[in-house]
Amino acid sequence: GVVNIITKDGRSEPDVADLSVDGGSNKFWKALGEFSGKTDSMDYRLSGSRSMGDGNRDHSAFFSTNLYGKFRFVVTPSFQLNAVVMGTSYFNENPEGPNKDQVRENPDQANPDSAKQNEFAQTSRVTDGLVGTAKLAVNQDLNFTVYGRKTDFTESVPSTVQHRTLNNPGAMIQYTFHGGTGPVKNHFSLGVDASWQNIDEYRNPNLGHAIEGPAKVSDETIKQHGYGFY
């Protein structure tokens, strides 16, 4: 099976801006802004959001920032390009699980180690991609995709502070021939896709409150790739 996710395009009317703000318990709030529009050969959509809160337990605060942009270019009547750029940053404290005596005492408290060692997880990611669609003839299409994604991940646990960087580039090209007449239609596709993943990871000792010691506990690099023909 295939999952085809199509994100919103820019609007057909002139430039439009939207803004919304939400709030809730535990000092939660979220603000979202969008701006979209259209020119003679392009439509676009830009958005940004920010949310944060304290969580319902001690040492469970979080915040996130998300930025998004999509640009659709009509180069010629038979050739279209879509460019997407996304960025996200997410941070959350980790209160860990309390034991049953701690739950009886105060179910909202964090595990003592989590606050003492300042346990948390933080993720920053940037994703960009370019999708092209060309009409070679009435019954022939050519589609291609090029993308890249970089993720920086940091996690503090009682013993160590882990740092991980992931780079994930990839590409795809597909040719499709459409045939048949009347109620019977035929589609024949040929394509190739490729993806790569590089992971760099190391850990330093957690000296307390996520203060890192100079000696590395572990240091590793993983490289993977895959190719598909169909």
Provide, rounded to the nearest whole percent, the portion of the chain with pLDDT above 70. Answer: 97
DSSP annotation of 212: B
**pLDDT tens-digit series, residues 99-145:** 888 888 998 888 888 888 899 999 999 999 999 999 999 899 999 99
Alpha-helical (H) ranges within the chain are 100-105, 112-116
- Per-residue pLDDT, 40: 80
**Beta-sheet pairing, 160-167 with 186-205:** antiparallel
Q: How confident is the model over 48-73, as a mean pLDDT?
A: 94
Q: What is the pTM of this model?
A: 0.83
Q: Residues of the chain with pLDDT > 90: what percent? A: 69
Contact 139, 196 (CB under 8 A): no
